[in-house]
Structures are given as C-alpha cells and as structure tokens.
Amino acid sequence: MSPLTASPAAVPTDPAERIGELRTAIDACDAEIIELVQRRLAISHEIGSLRAAAGGTRLSLAREQQVLARFGDALGPDGAALGMLLLRQGRGRL
C-alpha cells in the first residue's frame, strides 16, 4: 500500500495533518479526471466531425450503449450515470 493511502493506524500523524495530505491527493486525482474529461471531449468531437463529414449520423446509439455498459459494469448504477454525463457533454446541443 502506498504511503499516501496507508491505513490511519500505520501512519502515526496528527489527523488534521493526514487529512490535509489526503486532500492534496484528492486534488491531484481531480486534476487528472478533469484533464481526462477534457481529452475525452476533444476526441468525441473529432469523431463526431469525421462522421458528419462522411454523411453519417451525429450520434452512435450502439456505441453509447457500449460506453454506458462499461461504466455500469465497473462502477455500478452511479457509474452508468457518470457515463451518461460524459456522453451528454460530448453531444452538446442536439
């Protein structure tokens, strides 16, 4: 287990200090998540542009089902909801 995520018993520090460290770790996770969401959005837009330029549909509902199933399988119902938010963000105005 990494020092950052070790159980409290294994880390003899002041709880407030430890909470500060853990919040720093959460902030780093959030920054990565935001960067990934932005990257995903750019990729999704590029696919949409390519499909539109080729005369295709704006959306691919079959593909959306795959994405939602992946999030749901990994993270449960809230994960599927998270996947839906990501898809909605990529859709923009319909």
The residues binding ligand PRE (CB under 6 A) are 44, 47-48, 59-60, 63-64, 67, 87, 90
Nearer to ligand PRE, 59 or 80 (CB): 59
What is the distance in angstroms between the CA of the first residue and the CA of the last residue of the chain? 46
CA distance 92 to 40: 14
Q: How far is the CB of 29 from ligand PRE (least distance, A)?
A: 22
Measured from the CB atom, is 39 or 63 closer to ligand PRE? 63
For the CB of residue 76, give the shortest distance to ligand PRE in the complex, in Å: 19
What are the structure tokens assigned to 2, written together? 């990494």
Cβ 37 to ligand PRE, closest distance in Å?
11
CB 72 within 8 A of CB 83: yes
55 — alpha (psi -120 to 50), left (phi > 0) or beta? left
**C-beta of 28 vs 36, nearer to ligand PRE:** 36
d(C-alpha 42, C-alpha 18), whole Å? 36
Closer to ligand PRE by Cβ: residue 14 or 93: 93
